[in-house]
Structure 1
Amino acid sequence: MLRLGIDVGGTNTDAVLVEGKQVLGATKAATSADVTTGMVQAIAGIAQSTKVDPGAISAVMIGTTHFINALVEANRLAPTAAIRFGLPATSSLPPLIGWPQRLVDAIQGRSYLCHGGHEYDGSQLSPFDEGEFLRAIEDAHGAGIRSFAISSVFSPVNAEFEQRAAQILAEQLPDAAVSLSHEIGRMGILGRENATIINASLRELAEHVTAGLRRTVAEAGITSQVFLSQNDGTLMDIDYARRYPVATFASGPTNSMRGAAFLSGQQDCVVVDVGGTTTDVGMLQNGFPREATTDVSVADVQTNFRMPDVLSVGIGGGSLVKDAEIGLRVGPESVGHRLTTEALVFGGVQLTATDIAVAHGIAEVGDGSLVRHLDRALVTSTLANIAERVNDVVDRMKVSAEPVPVVAVGGGSFLVPDEMFAASVVLRPDHYAVANAIGAAIAEIGGEVDRVFSVTPGTRQSVLDDARQEAVDRAVAAGADPSSVRVVDVEEVPLAYLPGSAARIRVKAVGTLNVEVAVGGTHA
């Protein structure tokens, strides 16, 4: 089966063609302002280098920065209302609390509190008040709101009120986009609600982007189904991405980590991904990124949806190097996708980390004669500064004091030293520069269960078995080959602060894509 993997980064758009475990071709193109132009160039590069008939490609997997960039830039966001069912509780912390004002303004954010919600055991906090909800949506619609984020207290346990609200919205405002918190976030009302509001604000953009991606692929002569990679390293079909754009936010570093596992054969290691602007460091466990166990801040908004545990530092191939009076500084400023015009080795005037690497002889790009004048002490001290900072991040990512294997990937990974005190070995596998696109190409289909269960004496094993089976069923429903599905992660957390025998159980299952079946969009 031929798979085309594409990863849209801040500097480059990478594309690879993979068949089984063999990489048939790889190419890089500069990421364009409209993103799709860079994709067209990358696909054309693959077609030229491999001579493969585009019609023979079985599936296209894309990792994109469209949505996270829109949020960070507070641009192209839809007018959004957040409606929470939680009264008489939760009134002291209304929706949108803690949001940066620039983001509230960008989504023309409005918030409403309604009676409802549930306790941890599924019992009601208060009854659903339909009249109250209708007044809220009438007010929001009158203010020009086009997208709604619906949340309810403990909806991952009982989603009754969110589903009822969605039905009413579909009847009253059939053209409005609706996002439900129990489908997006995890336990914890504020983090789940914030993730839902972000998702709702991106729904209109997602309609345009997914249509554009489909069109770009079709115009290249590729007729196969298009998938997008998710934050947890699994795939979703493009219709699912249209409804849940937040699921793509961390696909870049996740793809690189999955690609690193594929290329190096390492299933448990630290991955250092050096791009043009940042270095992302994450931990692989059983071949998948370790997920963050706490709320993750996205554009200064606390959220709790699935995100990899990644530490980033402002060092990349395009990082500016400044030897000022206050001392040497590398990054976080970067020339980004302008590296090939602004770096010294390409005839530019900016001193970058790439220039330092070329001057030291650890990289061969551009014209090395243009950096021969660089002071040797500056070159040495810059590389030492980078090595120390990367070492520190790797050491912070480990779970023990013991050295661990480190896999260096990304176009700027020549900046990673060959030896680090935190590493037992530093590996640079073949095709390391396009590990992100390879991670997209080899991604699997996943299914996840994450909710509170009642675990009475003698029932723990049966509850865990039921949760495992549900995760497997979800992966199969999302398009995984049933014979390939396996459980890769089980987490059980007893909730001692709740009465009774309650436990939060999270199970994740993955399997290889079954291209013979239609992916229906049901996904964990």
Structure 2
Amino acid sequence: MRIGIDVGGTNTDAVLMDGDSVLADAKVTTTPDVTDGIVRAVQRLREQRDFDPAALTGVMLGTTHFINAIVEARDLAPTAAIRLGLPATQSLPPLVGWPDNLVSAIGGHTYLCHGGHEYDGRVISELDPGELHRIADELAVNEVRSVAITSVFSLVNSEFELRAAEILAERLPGLRVSLSHEVGRTGLLERENATVINAALGELAERICDGMVATLRTIGLHAPLYLSQNDGTLMGVDYARQYPVMTFASGPTNSMRGAAYLSGVDDCAVVDVGGTTTDVGMLHRGFPREASAEVSVGGIRTNFRMPDVLSFGVGGGSLVRHEGADVKVGPESVGYRLQDEALVFGGETLTATDLVVAAGLTRIGDPERVASLDRDLVSAGLDYVTDRITGTIDRMRTSRALVPVVLVGGGSVLLPEELPLASSVLRPEQFAVANAVGAAIAQISGDVDRIFAIQSGQRDAALDTAKQEATDRALIAGASPGTVEIVEVEEIPLAYLPGNATRIRVKAVGDLAQSTSAPSPVAHGRGVR
């Protein structure tokens, strides 16, 4: 048995699963201290279906802690960005383009050093240990506890990043080190930004992971804790401590994976309507389609793995504004205060939930409190929601063909049984807790995105290398060795580079290894903990 939990802005959802069966599900209001909501959700599960905690093989958690910390520029550790590439790359220093509040939040420590490689592995300049020793002295004086090391084309050759990490760790024991070749993808600035974000979240990740484990222990759950990644798979709690950036957008991906599992449809559009926002994404072979371009996180350009999801402020708690015939729903929302402020719960705020109850599409709270709402207002508000979501589906599809649409999330009751552009509309059983189901059934993954200078007759060898690296990363993250398989291979010739340069992307997925403790990541000899 396993428990899946997803913490959203409005609700915390949980499911208890045994094999393919959902034994119990719970939806509780998210609390300001999210651990309280998690405890209440687990208690609700036990009230529905008592279980032996010793029978649990894992607790899978999707959380917004880390993305919220970046968006709100809080709880970030003093972090240094060290780039290896001189004499190249001087025109655009580290943290260029960052919002001022985030630069201030991490201290604004940036360094340019010699090092780096060309796309074909040739050295730009040799690493200078003396530069790194001087940086270590400054970090100690400024009490900087985390560093992000980015070497030019480290996805081709990571040698300088690893050597720099060893030098700094020897001088500053306990220093947290994030390396760009482990975090980001091709594109120096975007990969560097993702690595700096990951490093700045290191201390928060330690506190959150320790706190979550302690919370589960206090309610008698000693099973390993896993966190949801942004590709719809899982990572062990120790792995999450090292790569918290990989939890970004785990909520939408959990919902999409849960939608595929509950509906049995692997290629479709998924519309997840929560209490605050709606997320629309596309599933391909049961996994979220990944964004092909850079992704903005808190106003920072990054290029680490993220799902291709469009989000907008429409949900069950969205405020309804109207002036005559002009009706708008969202983006403002009452969020987790829905049960205090919505009309159907005795409040004084007109929300989208009130509209759907007034229309007779669901029974929530006291329908009598909205019985007098103007019918035209109710109809116009629900049409507004349908139009917004239909337009977003149109933006996400890659052809003019109709697509299957799966509706999940508690707020999906706002939508009708038929939608324009949809070949079919499915609202599976347990649609309201699809995000928790997605967390509970998730697998373990590893992926590689590298540039190879492929010599004549060496294509197969390059592909085999990438596949093995992806498999190894899945095993490190906690996959069972006998279950790992390659689910995606992509080759992109780079015509603008000489030497038959090819970008190869590989994704490997395996089932969760059954063990009594969560796996630990390979640390490359670094003092990262």
Q: TM tier, shorter chain?
A: over 0.9
Tell me which residue corresponds to 1:208: 207
Question: Is the CA contact (8 Å cut-off) linking 2:223 and 2:516 kept in structure 1?
Answer: no
> What is the number of residues matched between the two proteins?
522
Say if 1:99 and 1:300, in contact at 8 Å, map to a contact too. yes
Distance in 2, Cα, partners of 1:379 & 1:306: 40
Match of 1:5 in 2: 4
Which residue does 2:216 correspond to in 1? 217
Partner of 1:374: 373
Q: Give the letter aligned to residue 337 of structure 1.
A: Y
Question: What displacement does 1:325 show?
Answer: 6.2
Q: Which position in structure 2 is the counterpart of 1:487?
A: 486
In the TM superposition, 1:306-385 aligns within 5 A as: 306-324=305-323, 327-385=326-384
> What's 2:135 paired with?
136
* Cross-structure match for 1:85: 84
- Secondary structure, aligned partner of 2:398: coil
The answer for the alignment partner of 1:71 in structure 2 is: 70
One-letter identity of the residue aligned with 1:472: T
Please say if residues 184 and 192 of structure 1, whose CA atoms lie closer than 8 Å, have aligned partners that are also in contact. Answer: yes
What CA deviation, in whole Å up to 9, does each residue of 1:186-240 have, x standing for no partner? 1111111001111111111111100001111111211211111101111110001
Compared CA separation, residues 155 and 462, structure 1 to 2 (3 A): closer
Counterpart for residue 302 of structure 1:
301
* Superposition pairs of residues 131-170 of structure 1, within 5 angstroms: 131-170=130-169
Structure 1 gap ranges (5+): none
TM-score (norm 2): 0.96
Residue 412 of structure 1 aligns to a residue whose secondary structure is helix
How far residue 324 of structure 1 moved from its aligned partner, in angstroms, is 2.8
**Greater displacement, 21-30 / 513-522:** 513-522
Deviation at 1:10, TM superposition (A): 0.6
| Alpha carbons 2:132, 2:168 under 8 Å: kept | no
> What's the counterpart of residue 124 of structure 1?
123
Q: Within 5 A, what are the aligned runs for 1:91-490?
A: 91-324=90-323, 327-490=326-489
Equivalent position SS for 1:126: coil
- 1:25 matched to which residue of 2? 24
Identity %: 60
Q: CA deviation at 1:461?
A: 3.4
Alpha-carbon distance in structure 1 between the residues aligned to 2:105 and 2:464? 45
Q: In the aligned structure 2, how far is the partner of 1:105 from the partner of 1:329?
A: 37
Unaligned runs of 5+ residues in structure 2 are 524-529
What's the offset of the Cα at 1:326? 9.3
- The one-letter amino acid paired with 1:280 is D
Output the CA distance in 1 between the equivalents of 2:339 and 2:32.
16
Change (3 A) 1:216 1:161: same
Specify the alignment match of 2:527 in structure 1: none
Look up the equivalent residue of 2:108 and give its one-letter code. Answer: G
Q: Please give the secondary structure, in 2, of the residue aligned with 1:246.
A: helix
Q: Deviations over 1:475-499 (max 9, x none)?
A: 2343323333222111110011111
Query: What is the CA distance between 1:517 and its match in structure 2?
Result: 7.7
Question: What code does the residue aligned with 2:521 have?
Answer: G
Task: Please tell me whether the aligned partners of residues 47 and 54 of structure 1 are also in contact (alpha carbons under 8 angstroms).
Answer: no
RMSD (Å), alpha carbons? 1.5
Alignment partners' CA distance in 2, 1:469 and 1:115: 31
Q: Would the aligned equivalents of 2:268 and 2:403 in 1 still touch at CA under 8 Å?
A: yes
Any conservation in 1 of the 2:239–2:477 contact (CA below 8 Å)? Answer: no
1:465 Cα deviation from its structure 2 partner: 3.5
For residue 520 of structure 1, report the CA deviation from its aligned partner.
3.3
Distance 1:326 1:497, change over 3 A: farther
**C-alpha distance in structure 2 between counterparts of 1:375 and 1:461, whole Å:** 67
Residue 511 of structure 1, CA deviation = 1.3
Task: Pick which of 398-407 and 484-493 moved more.
Answer: 484-493
For residues 474 and 105 of structure 1, the distance between their equivalents in structure 2, rounded to whole angstroms, comes to 34
Q: What residue in structure 2 maps to residue 521 of structure 1?
A: 521
2:270 is paired with a residue of what secondary structure?
strand
Q: 1:465–1:28: structure 2 CA closer, same or farther, 3 Å change rule? A: same
Q: Distance in 2 between matches of 1:155 and 1:471?
A: 16
Q: Deviations over 1:458-513 (max 9, x none)?
A: 33234324423432343234332333322211111001111111101001011111
